[in-house]
Amino acid sequence: MSERWDAIVVGAGHNGLVAGALLARAGLATLVLERRELIGGCCVTEEIAPGCRASTTSYIASMLRPEVIRALDLRGRGLRMIPCEPAVQVALDGGEVVADWTDPERTRAEIGRFSPRDARAFEEATAELRRLAACLQPLLTELPPDTRAGSWRGAAELARVAARMRGLRAADVEGLTRLVSSSLGEFIDARFTSPQAKALLLANNLYGKHGGPYQPGTLLGLAFHMLTGGDAGRPGFFGHVIGGMGAISEAIAAVGRAHGMRVRTGAEVGAITVRNGRAAGVALADGTELGARVVLSGADPRRTFLGLVGKAHLPEEFRDAVAAIKMDGPCAKVNLILGAEPLVLGMPPDAAPGRRALFTLPPSLPVADLCYDRAKRGEIAGPAELFIDCVVASAVDDSLAPPGRHVMTCFVQYVPYRLAHGTWDERREELGDKVLARIGAFAPNVPSAVVARQVLTPLDLERTYGLTEGNIFHGDPRLDQLFHMRPVPGWARYATPVRGLYLCGAGAHPGGGVTGAPGYNAARQVLADLRHRRRWLR
């Protein structure tokens, strides 16, 4: 080995950086390796036109864990997040714009214009979902139970998790059962009548998850966005990051470097080396070998275990379980540089910059369901069927573009990873055209104002950002792929069948989104295991 480290982290995504920073702070000589020349993984800010920078992949900070912010003192490193106000806003046919404000009274008045009954129901549903999210909240940084443990330790594990649920009311147990098993569409249809209230709830689902709104398990997405986030730990937090999402990754890296962490870009890992059943380091694509006591992979489970670890070092049933993880990303991203700010039909002329900075174009529930069905068949839906979330970050952050230019990012679903006809390289611009046509129906000045356009298909997300099959969560967040089932049953505690190798990316508990929780949890587990090993050796 040409170099020797205490810990090597594969991938400088935000989770890998969190893990590396915490290990370095604990005194471990830590090296983070990144294939690209830019750190951050999918939490990045990139120049897509001269002088214009965009959050090319992740684009809103909503669930960044307060524990991570405090542990690394990210505010002290200059991280600034401005709360989105409103938190969610939809533009509807007929020139209506409806907002969900952080002030419940204001939201009640907003929805009350269309249905006083729905205004009350919206407030009740929000309170219920926040209460249920609070029940789930401790599990985000909780070690999942070891379901393959022996009888005594297994019982202790279940008792530990059950203790977290102590004090739940019967109504909460019922609510949690509905939360994990019901569909978003059924929840909305049973409680609301106005299309405006329905659109606001549909717009707050879990973007990038498989399943149309009437598929069981999709209700869970509403609770995800009711979890706390930001440095104040506010429930349902949505925030614009000044400097773009890459500012989060840069702040984390700055903390790690201050503690001695090294970050090496342009360093693609070709393999994780294993000797005598234990991770011994990594081999770079250029042949360089680096040794380490422990290795952490921020890559997704499939890329890690089916690509970087030799087949001979893993049990066949484990490899089969990893190969069966549901991926097949259902989303894309279109980033635009505009010569004029979008003029959304129905937007109040005196709207503040924060209100002009975001709007969602959700189809109706049945159309969203149809769009997902078309994506399953490998088809690109028509403009009227696409579900698009738009953020004009430059409205609240003038550091992203020079005067006269505006940065607009558009998250698009549902689109297929595998096309029934043609290739994504052939049809990339077709998707971009459909997205612009959809936006143009609500903000007519946008298509003619485009100065530059970047279309990232599911295949581009795989090739450029290392997301297998373009899945932004490193594995779909469905019930059978969460908590003790993530990434696969029996291996949900960050350790892997290879001793000294850990998973620290979104493919581990609690999953995707810019939370920092997988990296935070994995680092703590590594440190606990190293302490246990030292005690055993003594």
* Bridge pairing between strands 331-338 and 450-456: antiparallel
3-state class (DSSP) for residue 97: strand
Question: How much is the pLDDT for 173?
Answer: 80
Question: How much is the pLDDT for 537?
Answer: 64
How many structural domains does the chain have?
Answer: 3
One-letter amino acid at 340 equals A
Look up the CATH number of the domain holding residue 266. 3.50.50.60
Do residue 347 and residue 464 come from a single domain? yes
Strand partners, 76: none
Q: Is the separation of the CB atoms in 447 and 414 below 8 Å?
A: no
Do residue 233 and residue 135 come from a single domain? yes
| Structure-token pair, residue 262 | 């090294």
**How far is residue 476's CA from residue 491's CA, in Å, rounded to a whole number?**
17
Q: Is residue 414 part of a domain?
A: yes
Domain that holds residue 365: 328-469
Q: Is residue 55 part of a domain?
A: no
Question: How much is the pLDDT for 121?
Answer: 97
Q: Is residue 100 part of a domain?
A: no
- Check residue 411 and report its DSSP letter: E
Per-residue pLDDT of the chain (538 residues; tens, 9 = 90+): 578 999 999 999 999 999 999 999 999 999 999 999 999 999 999 999 999 999 999 999 988 999 999 999 999 999 999 999 999 999 999 999 999 999 999 999 999 999 999 999 999 999 999 988 888 888 888 888 887 776 677 677 667 666 666 667 777 788 888 888 889 999 999 999 999 999 999 998 888 998 999 999 898 888 888 888 888 888 889 999 999 999 999 999 999 999 999 999 999 999 999 999 999 999 999 999 999 999 999 999 999 999 999 999 999 999 999 999 999 999 999 999 999 999 999 999 999 999 999 999 999 999 999 999 999 999 999 999 999 999 999 999 999 999 999 999 999 999 999 999 999 999 999 999 999 999 999 999 999 999 999 999 999 999 999 999 999 999 999 889 999 999 999 999 999 999 999 999 999 999 999 999 999 999 999 999 999 877 776 6
Do residue 485 and residue 421 come from a single domain? no
Question: How much is the pLDDT for 260?
Answer: 98
CA dist list (Å): 377 to 174, 367, 416, 421? 35, 15, 8, 10
Do residue 209 and residue 333 come from a single domain? no
Write down which residue in 192, 209, 237 finishes a domain: 237
- Check residue 381 and report its DSSP letter: P
- Check residue 143 and report its DSSP letter: P
Q: Is residue 56 part of a domain?
A: no
Q: Is residue 87 part of a domain?
A: no
Do residue 503 and residue 431 come from a single domain? no
Write down which residue in 188, 217, 237 finishes a domain: 237
Do residue 465 and residue 492 come from a single domain? no
Residues whose CB falls within 8 Å of the CB of residue 479, separated by 6 or more in sequence, listed in order: 180, 181, 217, 220, 485
Q: Is residue 221 part of a domain?
A: yes
Do residue 289 and residue 156 come from a single domain? no
Q: Is residue 9 part of a domain?
A: yes
Question: How much is the pLDDT for 154?
Answer: 67
Do residue 334 and residue 261 come from a single domain? no
3-state class (DSSP) for residue 130: helix
Write down which residue in 190, 209, 237 finishes a domain: 237
* φ, ψ for residue 389, nearest 5 deg: -110, 120
Q: Is residue 53 part of a domain?
A: no
**pTM of the entire structure?**
0.95
Q: Is the separation of the CB atoms in 101 and 278 below 8 Å?
A: no
**How far is residue 282's CA from residue 307's CA, in Å, rounded to a whole number?**
13
Do residue 279 and residue 211 come from a single domain? no
Do residue 227 and residue 267 come from a single domain? no
Do residue 392 and residue 462 come from a single domain? yes
Do residue 8 and residue 74 come from a single domain? yes
